[in-house]
A = this chain, B = another copy of it.
Amino acid sequence: MSDRKGHRSGGRASAHRRQTGHAIAQPPWRIPVNPDHPTEPLPPEGVAAIHEAAMRVLEEIGIEFLHPEARDVLARAGCAVEPDGCNVRMDRAWVMEKVALAPAEFTITPRNPDRAIRIGGPHMVFSAVASPPNVMDLDRGRRVGDFASFRDLTKLTQYFNCLHVAGGYPVEPVDLHASIRHLDCIHAALTLTDKVSHAYSLGPDRVEDVLEMARLASGLPADEFFAIPRLYTNINSSSPLKHDWPMLDGAMRFARRGQPVIVTPFTLAGAMAPVTMAGAVVQSVAECLAAVALLQQINPGTPCVMGTFTSNVDMKSGAPAFGTPEYMRATQMSGQMARFYRLPLRASNACAANAPDAQAMWESMNSLWAAVQSRTNFVFHGAGWLEGGLIASYEKLVMDCEAIQQIQRYFEPVLVDTSADALALEAIREVGPNGNFFGASHTQDRYATAFYAPFLSDWRNFEAWSGAGATWTAERANRIWKKILAEYEPPPMDPDAREALDDFVARRKAEGGAETDF
């Protein structure tokens, strides 16, 4: 073993550690490319059947748009708007014509252009958990989300190269008043990270503030800033069959500026959607396409993403369940539909577990592999989600990053290289039946980079692991996030841009922030 240890001390992993002084060694930033053919449970007739049913929902049943301006736009485009009501029915030819205007792939460029993300095609990016009301770690247990934990989780999002995007507030900072919460949160997001930001569609004031803050952080004039996608919003329909006012308002504002919109119906089978998975997907597709068609009518070419959040409920309690067999198939079917409509796909790394334990990981692995198999382009809630999205967990975030790094490594072509060198016929000949490959030059030449090196998995034997304290995974994750936060350094930022951003926040706070009714 000694020669291998000696070899390794000069290897990539430790060199990387030395170079960066990082708490962990991690692969560099990159946009993963998923090379696998997707898993497609539906035959072409199945895709056609779901499409036909979704079109009939739009034509015969309709979707409620709780925003007068959206209804006006749709009426002018020839849709059948209910007199004195919110229901809108759409002709399938018109819907398909509009949906075809959305790009199949696009790029979002944040203030640091090196952090640009490609959405669509074979690309697959990951964000951290978004929007839980509670936060949890092993030391402090579960508690209501606050700004300190928001900042911690944002720093972790920045730290991990396997996370490409900020996916919304990693936890809801309930200690900040709602009127100024978005100002402090987006200020933190834009200064603690240089990755792509998300804006909640929670009313015009907030949306306009966030768009302006992202622009100020970039240091660019408005025309240059809005010339390409810079940030994004994710909207959820109020399933069944309804788009709410604030979501539509935000989405339309984003569309007018050519900024990307992810449309994600929350179609929980048996609750807000049919109990059958195909039925839930039909409804999800219909709700999504209705919004996409509206946004294309407003600004043709607006980048749009089809979101899927179709899962089932617990038969015992009615509570949402995630990472289930039904969830996986719904995600794969949604992938087939997204490709049918030539829209990028968003899915999630979701689970129902209440602790960062074994169940959390089998559910998350099911969700993550379903994302891979469905050719998901944007994995929302990629790291840190527990309790069906009600908890942001420090330890789970670290654990998910280990799993995500492994998936990103899995994508690397070198693993399935069959060049003459990789086939290793001469090494097999050289070693023969009585040797081993430890010392072979074929091994030595490749050893340092041949295999993925985990930062959280403990691969020691039981004696060594036990002698070092027999630490279970969640506890190791606990130590790692502390090390990372201790050494965290914010990404560089242009001082003028920083000052402009600070000034904006100060001014808007002085003005009272966004209107609230409390």
Q: Which residues of A contact B (CB under 8 A)?
A: 1, 4-5, 8, 11, 13, 35-37, 39-42, 45-46, 49-50, 53, 56-57, 60-61, 63-64, 87, 134, 142, 240-242, 269-280, 282-283, 312-319, 321, 324-326, 328-329, 332-333, 352-366, 369, 373, 387-388, 390-391, 399, 402-403, 406-407, 409-410, 412, 415-418, 421-425, 427-429, 431-438, 440, 442-443, 446-448, 450-453, 456-462, 464-466, 470, 472-474, 477
Contact = CB atoms under 8 A, between A and B. Distances in A.
A247 to B, nearest CB: 15
Contacts of A473: 353, 355, 357-359
Given A240-B433, A354-B458, 6 more contacts: A49-B418, A87-B433, A275-B443, A279-B442, A325-B409, A362-B364
A276 B443 CA distance: 8
A431 to B, nearest CB: 6
B321 A451 contact: yes
A453 B403 CA distance: 26
Copies of this chain, count: 2
Given A61-B428, A270-B443, A433-B242, A410 B278 contact: no
B450 A270 contact: yes
8 closest A-B pairs (Cβ-Cβ)?
A279-B424, A365-B365, A274-B424, A325-B410, A358-B473, A241-B433, A41-B416, A361-B361
B49 A423 contact: yes
A352 B465 CA distance: 11
A238 B247 CA distance: 63
Nearest to A427: B274
Contacts of A324: 406, 451-452
A447 B276 CA distance: 9
15 contacts: A13-B315, A37-B37, A39-B39, A49-B418, A50-B418, A134-B462, A273-B437, A276-B421, A282-B423, A312-B450, A315-B450, A317-B461, A332-B416, A361-B361, A361-B362
A370 to B, nearest CB: 9
Given A241-B428, A329-B410, A470 B354 contact: yes
A140 to B, nearest CB: 14
A318 B438 CA distance: 9
A332 B366 CA distance: 18
A459 B36 CA distance: 32
A453 B504 CA distance: 52
Contacts of A365: 361-362, 365-366, 369
